[in-house]
Chain A
Amino acid sequence: MRMRTVEISVGAFVLAGLIALVLLAIQVSGVSLTQSEQSYSITARFDDIAGLRPRAKVSMAGVTIGRVRDIAVDMEWGDAIVTMEIFGEPGSLTTDTGAKILTEGILGARYVGLLPGGDDEKLGAGDEITETQGALVLENLIGDFLTSLGD
């Protein structure tokens, strides 16, 4: 009988650990069990991304519609190539969609904001957004302001 209590306790202990692991994964780190969501990737070139990071959100009208997957630099042109993963099937974004690097709040993280276009043609997987505007960097703004004061 004594040995059974021990075994039941150990079993309950291990089970509690497993339940804690599942809860941590789902409730705390937000792993969704339906991860088979479809997505496609598009790229965009920016002159300055100023602290945009992989996994940052891509949003349109304030709603998250994708994530930044990869960031690379083109040494020849001196601009940044951002690869974004957009949830859903291709065909929802027009070819003249604009992309901007924005900041959430004053100290918040950088994200990519997409502006809807009016073109009939749609962006397919792997296409590039051409209408882009890089991040506003405070130092550059102040620099521009000071030069304009000097004129």
Chain B
Amino acid sequence: MRFLAWLEALGRAALLWVNAMRGLPRWSDVKLVGRQIYNVGFLSLIIIVLSAFSIGAVLALQFYTQLARFGAEDAVGLGLALVVLRELGPVVTALLFAGRAGSALTAEIGLMKTTEQLSSMEMMGVDPLHRIVAPRIWAGIISVPILTLIFNIVAIYGGALVAVDWLGADPGGFWSGMQDVVQLWEDLGKGMIKSVVFAVLVTWVAVFQGYDSPPTAEGMSMATTRTVVISSVLILAADFLLTLVLYGDF
């Protein structure tokens, strides 16, 4: 019985996504999407930049102290770039996005439902799926890759600051070692594919949890929690599968 209920929720979620995304993007929605990009993307910049800087700095510190034991300080740059571009950039950005923007999306849509704004829209002949849900999904799909790009560049320059300017690694070895190994498609491109997939997953979960939450205070708080938990687990599971598909050599 539990399984059937779960299956039913999955079906509802799939239908919600398909119905919301059908017939889009329409040009008249650009303004709505822009507004949402501001909410979920631009306002997430601070947390992304701060986290990226700390993660880049910590990675450079760890790589440097370990690699210096082998006299391989020049490998700090390429290690940092590969780890950030392939894994940490897309994954950490998506996790932060789920916490910062996904939960807010759920709460917003949940509250709209609780206060019956969604049903009044339906009465006015406005489809809430097109008016409310779809712009938020599109905004997420556009924002997360941009945030990931910004995360990557800040993390790498943060790492460069620590390794080169502070610890005294050779800047030539740092940058040229990185440029020799990092490939545009193989590392950056495939990382961006991950990021787009994560964006779809997070916004989908967030929007569905909000739309499907029981219209009570308790139901909304549970839905918000579930958004963060489910999307985090999905991101990590999807990351493993994507790495297997994209980088697995078989």
B-contacting residues of A (Cβ < 8 Å)?
6-7, 9-10, 12-14, 16-17, 20-21, 23-25, 27-31
Contacts and interface: CB of A to CB of B under 8 A. Distances in A.
B179 A30 contact: yes
A13 B145 CA distance: 12
Given A7-B34, A24-B149, A13 B42 contact: yes
Contact of B81 (A14, A16, A25, A28): A28
Contacts of B180: 30
A23 B153 contact: yes
Contacts of A23: 153
A116 B8 CA distance: 72
Given A24-B188, A25-B184, A30-B178, 9 more contacts: A6-B35, A24-B152, A24-B156, A25-B188, A27-B175, A28-B152, A28-B156, A28-B178, A29-B184
A20 B150 contact: yes
Contacts of B147: 17
Q: Chain A contact residues: over half helix, strand or loop, or mixed?
A: helix
Contact of B37 (A13, A27, A30): A13
A10 B36 CA distance: 9
Contact of B150 (A6, A17, A25, A27): A17
28 contacts: A7-B34, A9-B42, A10-B34, A10-B37, A10-B41, A10-B42, A13-B38, A13-B41, A17-B147, A17-B149, A17-B150, A20-B146, A20-B150, A20-B153, A21-B149, A23-B153, A24-B85, A24-B149, A24-B152, A28-B156, A28-B178, A28-B179, A29-B179, A29-B182, A29-B184, A29-B187, A29-B188, A30-B180
Contacts of A16: 45, 146, 150
Interchain residue pairs A-B with the least CB separation, the first 4? A30-B179, A17-B146, A20-B149, A20-B153
B183 interface: yes
Interface centre among A17, A27, A29, by most B CB within 10 Å?
A: A29
A13 B184 contact: no
Q: Chain B contact residues: over half helix, strand or loop, or mixed?
A: helix
A25 B189 CA distance: 10
Nearest to B153: A20
A28 B178 CA distance: 6
Interface string B35-51: 10110011001000000
B48 to A, nearest CB: 11
Interface in B57-74: none
Contacts of B41: 10, 13
A10 B81 CA distance: 27
Nearest to A13: B42
B20 to A, nearest CB: 21
Contact of A6 (B38, B45, B156): B38
Contacts of B149: 17, 20-21, 24
A80 B42 CA distance: 54
Interface string B157-193: 0000000000000000001101110111001100000
A119 to B, nearest CB: 32
Nearest to B80: A28
